[in-house]
Copies of this chain bind each other. A is one copy, B any other.
Amino acid sequence: MKGDTQDMKPRNPKHKLLLGPGPSNADPRVLRALSEPTLGHLDPDFVAIMDETTELLRYVFGTKNELTIPISGTGSAGMETALVNSLDPGDKAIICIAGVFGERMVDLALRMGIEVVRVDAPWGKAVDPEDVRKAVRQHPDARIVAIVHAETSTGVLQPLEEIVQITHESGMRIVVDAVTSLGGMEVPVDRLGLDFVFSGTQKCLSCPPGLAPITVGERALDFIVNRKTKCQSWYLDLSMISRYWGGERFYHHTAPINMMYALNEALRIIKEEGLEARWARHRLNQKALIAGLEAMGMRLVVQPEYRLPSLTTVYFPEGIEDVPARMKLLNEFGIEIGAGLGEFKGKVWRIGLMGTNSTKANVLTLFAALEDVLVSMGAKVAPGAGLQAASAVYSETE
């Protein structure tokens, strides 16, 4: 068998511009950090990196929460961590659903034996806080309200502030999916007193996928520490994981060492830029993106006040075939944009400007490429319309 990889091609993934719903491109500094030498998971040098990473995560989450750590799995592992550490089997949970990731929370909760109260919103719309108020009144025995802050399947930013207020007035805890918002806009953990928030590394943190940052407030931590039933998951049990991240360094599982280097570097980059500057950058580039898309005659899915700065959903021009157009963009220009999911499949594209990728250069590059692809497929697009409208946004602010 020896030597029989000779017929394998070199694995040389090209650089592509990832402007879909994630993963986004990792910063080159983050990619370099990944290849630093592996240390033992109890090595004092690694422990120092862990400590600094939790400090930086607290900065990005805007929190003083002690339990602010990355979970050893992708964003969906963060979601599962949030639910299995917030609820006992038989508990009642109010879940807001306005897309794929809200449905995922329902699926997850039902597997755990949770009684789920649904608060639905149509695809592409925000959840109505009044619907949450009704649910909370009808089900005062529910333990949590769960909501996706930034719904990656629709590009809708949910009205978090009102929903948190309603939740807390009822004495319930709020669980927030911030996978697509963290690092691209404010996730107001301490400002609103969010109880349990989870995210992923591969969106606005500009780090490859593989870790799920979480932060846990005091009330949510009380439940974890004092619960009488064991968490149904061993791998995601925060009562044990927190003992590894805390001063005790109690061995739980072997941390994904090199991914931790990457996250550490990604968070340093965010702190260097500053959160407010980073959020403003995401808003500006999305504004230019939207101006260009509309100038090209495309219609946005989400009404202005609920648009997510990091992810824009747009109906692509009629007569254009979805898959061939995206493949042309990928193959000829090395640019990935996202397909529609669920109800939006075959109707909508999802364009992400996340983290390092949210730049003027990327916006203008996209319009140059998009015009070429659409025109070549027979769409009627005024020459240069997208580019000019986007450029005008930058001119106004420079």
Residues on A facing B (Cβ under 8 Å): 1-5, 8, 11-16, 18, 20, 22-23, 25-26, 31-41, 43, 45-46, 49, 52, 59, 72-77, 79-80, 104, 107-108, 110-112, 200, 202, 208-210, 230-235, 251-259, 261-262, 264-265, 268, 271-277, 330, 336, 341
Contact = CB atoms under 8 A, between A and B. Distances in A.
A40 B16 contact: yes
Most buried by B among A72, A75, A251: A72
B11 A40 contact: no
Contacts of A72: 73-74, 77, 210
Nearest to A327: B44
7 contacts: A1-B276, A13-B39, A14-B45, A209-B254, A209-B257, A210-B256, A259-B259
How many copies are assembled?
A: 2
B35 A232 contact: no
Contact of A234 (B8, B33, B80, B259): B80
Nearest to A268: B5
Given A11-B264, A11-B265, A38-B202, 12 more contacts: A13-B39, A23-B41, A23-B257, A73-B77, A74-B253, A76-B234, A76-B235, A79-B234, A107-B234, A209-B257, A232-B232, A258-B262
B208 A257 contact: yes
Contacts of A8: 52, 268
Contact of A254 (B79, B104, B202, B230): B202
Q: What 3 A-B pairs come out closest when comparing CB atoms?
A: A210-B256, A2-B274, A34-B34
A256 B52 contact: no
A273 B4 CA distance: 9
Nearest to A23: B38
Given A1-B274, A11-B264, A330-B43, A75 B253 contact: yes
Contacts of A3: 272, 274
Nearest to A33: B11
Contacts of A257: 23, 202, 208-209
A259 B2 contact: no
Contacts of A38: 18, 23, 25-26, 31, 202, 208-209
Nearest to A46: B13
A168 B62 CA distance: 55
A297 to B, nearest CB: 27
A271 B5 contact: yes
A117 to B, nearest CB: 19
A78 to B, nearest CB: 9
